[in-house]
Amino acid sequence: MNLLGALFQSSIGKKLLMAVTGLVLVGFVTGHLVGNLQIFLPPAKINTYGHMLESLGAGLWAIRLFLLACVAIHLWLAFKLTAENRAARPQGYGVEHTNRATLASRVMLRSGIVVLVFLVYHLGHFTLRVQHPEWSEHTFRLADNTMVRDVYRMTVQGFNSAGISCFYLLGVGLLAYHLNHGLVSMCQTLGLKNERWTTGLERASAAFCWLYFLGNAVIPLSVRGWLPVLSGLIQR
Mean pLDDT (whole number) for 79-93: 69
40: in domain: yes
pTM attached to this predicted model: 0.84
Chain segment 205-220, per-residue pLDDT in tens? 999 999 999 999 999 9
75: in domain: no
- Report the C-alpha dihedral over residues 37, 39, 43, 48, rounded to 10 degrees: 40
Neighbours of 198 (CB within 10 A): 13
Residues in the chain: 236
181: in domain: yes
What is the number of domains present in the chain? 1
102: in domain: no
Chain segment 144-156, per-residue pLDDT in tens? 999 999 999 999 9
* Segments forming the whole domain that contains residue 166: 28-65+107-231
- Highest-confidence range of 8-17, 140-149, 173-182, 197-206, by mean pLDDT? 140-149
18: in domain: no
39: in domain: yes
Q: What are the residues facing 47 on neighbouring strands?
A: none
74: in domain: no
Q: Which helix (H) or strand (E) segment is 34 a member of?
A: helix 11-36
Separation of alpha carbons 60 and 101, rounded Å: 38
- Structure confidence at residue 104 (pLDDT): 52
- CA pseudo-torsion sign 86, 92, 93, 95: positive
pLDDT at residue 98 tops 70:
no
118: in domain: yes
Separation of alpha carbons 157 and 149, rounded Å: 14
